Every structure is written in C-alpha cells, then in structure tokens.
Structure 1
C-alpha cells in the first residue's frame, strides 16, 4: 500500500478531467477540489485502487464519480443486458438516492445511464431498469445479492467497484455480501473503498479486495471535523425532553437532526416534540421508503426544521445548512458518533453537536471520547450529581483540542463510571449464499 501526498495542480482542470465533466462539475457548484478530491482523483484516473479514510461531507462522491464518468463517457452506448459498467455499494437507501443524484448531475450532457437496486422498493421496476444494462449501478448489498442470485443482474462486466461508507456496511452485517459481490465482478476491476473509520475488519476487507492501493487519509481516522463545535449536556432520561425543548427554543437552532438510539425511541421523541409545539419529522427502518422520502423532502425544503432519525436511517442525508446535531441518546457503537455529527459542519460551514447524556450512559460517552480523542466539554449539568472526579481517558486530547465552552453551572459533572454493559455489536451478521432465498429488502434500516 502506498501513500499519495504529492502536490497536484490547482483546480479540477489540473486533475486531468475532460471539458464535459469540467462544465458539469462547475454547474454542480464544484469549483475548487477538496483535499480528498485533489489527492484521490489523479490516481483513480490513472487506474490505481484507492483506500480513502475520510469523514462524511468531505466530498467523496464526486471523488470517485468524476474519474469513473471520465472513463465511461469514452466507451459509447453499447451495453450488455443486465450488466453494469460501474457499481457503487452503499449501506442504505438514502445514501444511494443521494449518490445517484450527484452522478446524474455530473453526467449531465453525456449519454450515461444509472440505476438503483435497493430494498424497500419495487423489485420488478429495478429488474426492468437493469434489463438493457446500465453504466452506473448504485446498490445496497442485500437486494443486489438477491438479484445476482436470480441472474437478474450480471456483474461479470463490472470493471469499477466502489465501496462507500464501508464501516457502516460492517456494522450492518453486510461484509459477507460485499465479498460475494466483489468476487462476481470482473477480475481486472479497479476498486475504491471509502470509510470514515478503519477498524481491523475494514483493514482486512481492503487488503483482500484492493491491489496495491493508494491510501489517502484526509483527517486522522476517528476524528471529527474542526468546523463542528461539540458540547455535552448531562441530563437524566426523564429530563431530556425538557432540555431538548429548551435548546430548540433558543432561536439559534435553524435546522436540526436529533438522533435516537432505537426506532421506538425516535417515534417517542417525535411525538414529544410535536406535543411541545415543534414541527418535526422522523425517519427510521419501520417507515416506508415513500414516508422516509417525504420526511427528508420536508426537512430539506424547510417545511420542518427538526428531523428525528436513527443511525442507520440517517445515512446518506446530505442537506446543506444543517446547523445542529443533537444526540438525544448516545449510540451503541462509538464510531457512529462520528457519522452522526458529520451531518453538520459541512463544506466549510460551522456546525454544532450537542450530546445529552444520562449517568447510565457514561460508559458509552467514554468510548466516544476515546474514538474522537478528546473530552467533550460540559455545556450544562441538570442532573444534580456530585462530581466524582473521574480521571480522563488515557488517550484523551491526542489529535484534537477541546472546545472552549463556558459551563452554565458552577460544577462540571465528569460522569460516574457505571457498571453498564459494553455496547452490543450488531446482531445482524448475515450469512447468506447465492442459492438461498430470503426476505426482500431486509437490508432496510
């Protein structure tokens, strides 16, 4: 594996892209390349495999879409039935929808066809869309596994493979599916893998799928964007509803995503917000695709300013101008915190992330702090707990600086170490064979 740190010419023109793509990139608002684009586009254009460690909102989609489109445009319109020239694998439907939108914008003016293969929507329409063959297929692993098994999708002609948000696919139990899908693609394919975090399982996956990849890390893995101010509010579970209402009443929270740990919890938070006089919508895996899309559209258009979501359902939300993220519950997986707060502070804008923590969640809080390598500063404490003077984590403060936030109380509650069980790993590790049938759309959040 090689590192790629050489300087590249300024502007997309200096990266080797064609005139058509330069025009469409400019029309899509891409003027100057972001760091991940500067460093990854040249090796991708040169045919190299790429391993990218980059947080949400860093510009990954255009990073791989532009080189792929550059090569596809020169291939002409002849496609074999049921095949895809390029495949982008993603963990959730929302992320797939967002990626297809970007690809279509960047391919404007060129004869490039796209398709999505996702759970939770009509299988027959996807089969019809794939029948003549497409240039770029964006898919979630579960539904694609089904259609490959049924020979409705043929991957032997797929020469570009992208794994986007690989760590989330790991969390959702898709890694075995990903390996099978990759094995079904063209043996001489070019592969790019992007992940916000790099646990051992993703390192192993990258080693098995990528050939002498260029490794590009635009920020230390596990760290969060410098543009995001992070705060902590200590509050008991029964106090969180009032704390959230108080925060939302300040007038500074223009567009907010509130994260709940479970689907039922997300519904409860939404009901409470509506009862407290706030316009809110909710997305999670028990909602239909149409309902989720309506909620997203309402949030994007500003009809509602608060979107309540679970971790999995929120993947792929790319709404400009999100001012705040509120963690109503701490996540089971500490790495999810990085993905959650990455919804704000995008494209150079300053965002704010506020985490509400009950004393019973302190073990999870400490795990989050180890992942992000900083201690979350206490904005407010309403628990009435005494300060147990819990020592800092051994690696806290390495690689990131604590935000300077004045506490609103005279005490800073450092959190009482509890006997809480460690966060559970996802129980959805699925072991499927191409020849086994399963319920369609099971990969939905």
Structure 2
C-alpha cells in the first residue's frame, strides 16, 4: 500500500494526515502528487468526492514549508480560490492541521460576513488565503491584501465558478498574481470558459483525469420513487427522513427548505436548514449541528449545499424536488458515497415531472427505472432501515411572552408617543377587542384608533416599538401623527398662500 511518505510528502505533514485517518492517498492524490510536489502546473479532473482537496492542499503546504517563506502582513504566499463559502471553509478546515504541522497560517476570505475579522487576520499575517473571488477582489481594491508575493495559486471547482459567473473576477485575480508562480486547477469539466483560463494562466500543464464527471460511482445506488400525489410525496419524505443515519434532503427553493426543516422537527425528526437566506453564523451553526454526534440527523438544503459540504457518514441523499439540470443532480448526489463509502440517492417524482426527469437522468448518464411507491412500500422500508426515536421539538416562547421578556417591558410607548404597543395589550388580555370593525377600537390617550391602526399594532408583537410605515393608501387621517397637520390647516385663513 502506497503512503504519502512514499510519494515524497515530508514526515510532519504525513504524520498530520495519519492523525486525521488519511494514511494512504486516494487515486487522484497518488497520480497528481509527483507533479505538484515538483512545482509543475497541473490540471486535475475528477468528480465530486474523489479527494481533490487534499490533492492540492498537501503539495501547497509542502512547497511553502520547503521554501521557508517569510510571513508579511497582507501579503500571502499561497492562494486558493473557491466558488462558495461552504467550500472555502471546508478547504481551510482540511488544510489547517497540515499547515500547523509546519508552522504556517491559514485564513479564509468570503462575503456574507463583516470583513473586520478577515482584515485583522490578513494584517496579522497569513501564509495561505482560501477565498471566494468577490470578497477577495473587494479587499484588493481597498489595498488590504496584495497578491504580489503569491507563489502558488489553486482554482478549485473552476467549472462551478464559471456557472456562477465568476470567471471575469477570477481572471482579474489571476492576472494580479506573479506570472512565474505554480498554478493548479481542479475542475469536473472544462466547459463555460474554464478552458480559456487553462490556456492563459497554466504553463504546459500536466493533465490528470481519472474519470469523466458523469462516470458512475460504484458505491452509489440510485433510486427513482414515483408518487401519485403531493400528499403521498409528503408522507414519503417524512419516512425517508426518519432513519438513524445522516441524510440530506434537497429542495428547489429557500422557502421550501426552511418550511420542511421546521415541519420535520415538529414531527419529532430534528432537522436543520441550509440556504442563501441564512447568515454565515446561522450556516455554521446548522452545519455544526448536522455534523455533531448528538445533533440533527437531517439537513434540508438548496443547491447551496450541492458543493463544498462534506460531512462524514451521509448515507442518503433525497432529491425532494428534482434539480433543474444534470450537473446539479450529480453534485447533490455527490454528498453521499464519498471517499470510498457507500450511499443511496433517491429522487422523488410526481407524475408531471417524469418526462423532464428522464431527460435529466439521461444527460447525467444515470440508468435507473422509476418505481411507483408509497410511504409504506417494502422498498422504502428497506432503504430507511432502523427508525430514529422520536425527539421532542424545542419549546419556543410565544411572541407575546418573548416581547415581555425583553428588558421586562410589558408596556411600551409607540412611536407616536403615548399609544401602548400590541405586546403590552396582549399581555393584559385586551387585544381581542380590536379585531372587529373600525368602531370597536378603544381610545387610549384621547386619540381614536381605526381598525387599520389596531391591526398594525398587532403585527408589531414580534418587532416591538417599530415605526409604522404607511403606503399611499394608508388612512393617515385616523392617526395621532397626522393631527397637528389638520390643526395647522384649520388655522390658515381661507385663500392664504401655503407656507
């Protein structure tokens, strides 16, 4: 059995890999390491889950350590470009133990968070920067980071950067790195302009292509479950989510991901969501829960998790909604059966989706018949296996109670001054009297309330003391804020010019 040390990896880094349970290289690592360690430009092609991250991380750290680089504020000596925040975080996590073994520092740069921490890390000195193109270019324009000292540049998932429209930014970033540096590009395909990057920025690259991106994964089993209605689909999704192992459920939209995660949790199946509407802190928290031994076993996600999310032990991927195109299907499916492990992929198909799904599977080179099933079918029962025990959903305080607890303020003055907020009225048990017609409102401080004003106050329960926003059709005349204007108009003599 070949080891990393056999391929020329220094002992400290090889030991760090062994400590992480990675004593022997995967095929793409074994084939590329002789060339990458020697300093040659390399073009690596392989499907998701093949081990590309270590294929460039090991030579990058090794060559920087051998070069005895001097750390400078804001001037990294190695750069890794990634299309997404999740993938950038995953790369940095995999690289940090190797870098620490030889005294190198790694930091990440991406959008969606304040740049203060990133700015501080760069000014303190970082040898390796793992970055998303947009935020990196922004920091370059602010002169917070310079790429003049970069000796090794890596493009990971270059085809996905092209899909996201990042190639113009990537081109500008690569042009800002020294021409003589080593460049490594890893991509599943060379379409959408990736080949132009290769021709312009890689010098006589050695190409290592293990297999086509659509070649089947031996350890991955595909299933297509056809259901007769949305009601049967809902029951099937719950059944597929109820196993003991980790599983990822993919939906088409952010709203569906959030709604489904909340619904499963309420039904005793703890689930977390991952989509573009979450802050980076929320994404990190949910991913940490999904990866934790005692955390949620179900992750409901949009295509934001189709690349760059690696969690050990994902045994099942469910396409709750079939993706729009075959590349998304392959990358979603690639969250399971990674690094030699086995896994299953299920696509749920409604009658009206069957025609499009057949075409998608044909493009993805997936040959699997559709099976008409229900949640009680034997094939479903066999696939799910042992069911996880029911777990109570966490108790969330009602909006009124949350409002009461914030600083002990049972009553608040509204922005008009003197009107009680809906949180205070709800606590006093009087809010129900204002849900009728306009004549049912009470006068609080000498000013009558219309039904519209009462409804607006009730909506402020979760956002106490917020200023009301009026559209052009709002009944301003019924509010206290408009009263002074009526008095000014009344005091102006008839026919007098406006102020």
- Sort the TM-score into its range (normalised by shorter chain): 0.7 to 0.9
Cα RMSD of the aligned pairs, angstroms, is: 2.1
For residues 119-268 of structure 1, the aligned pairs below 5 Å read 119-235=111-227, 236-249=229-242, 251=243, 254-268=245-259
**Aligned 8 A contact 1:58 1:346 in 2:** yes
Partners in 2 of 1:44 and 1:240 — Cα distance? 48
Quote how far apart the aligned CAs of 1:407 are.
Answer: 7.3
State TM-score, norm by structure 1: 0.80
**Post-superposition, which runs of at least 4 consecutive aligned residues in structure 1 deviate over 4 A?**
none
Quote how far apart the aligned CAs of 1:200 are.
Answer: 4.4
Indicate whether 1:29 and 2:21 are aligned: yes
- Residue 106 of structure 1 is aligned with which of 92, 98, 114? 98
State TM-score, norm by structure 2: 0.71
- Residue 271 of structure 2 is aligned with which of 252, 256, 280? 280
- Residue 271 of structure 1 is aligned with which of 242, 249, 262? 262
- Greater shift after overlay, 229-238 or 54-63? 229-238
- Residue 37 of structure 2 is aligned with which of 28, 40, 45? 45
**Aligned 8 A contact 1:266 1:310 in 2:** yes
Residue deviations 1:219-238, cap 9 Å, x none? 22222421110100113444
Quote how far apart the aligned CAs of 1:318 are.
Answer: 1.2
- Residue 345 of structure 2 is aligned with which of 350, 353, 356? 353
**Aligned 8 A contact 2:216 2:366 in 1:** no
- Residue 316 of structure 1 is aligned with which of 308, 332, 354? 308
Q: Which gives a bigger RCO, structure 1 or 2 (Cα 8 Å, sep 6+)?
A: 1
Partners in 2 of 1:80 and 1:168 — Cα distance? 31
**Compared with structure 1, are the counterparts of its residues 129 and 56 closer, same or farther at alpha carbon in structure 2 (3 Å cutoff)?**
same
Quote how far apart the aligned CAs of 1:298 are.
Answer: 0.8
- Greater shift after overlay, 152-161 or 307-316? 307-316
Aligned length: 376
The structure in which a higher percent of residues are helix is 2
Indicate whether 1:343 and 2:327 are aligned: no
Residue deviations 1:277-318, cap 9 Å, x none? 311000111111111111111110131110011112453211
**Aligned 8 A contact 1:232 1:379 in 2:** yes
Quote how far apart the aligned CAs of 1:363 are.
Answer: 4.8
Gaps of 5+ in 1: 1-8, 384-405, 409-445
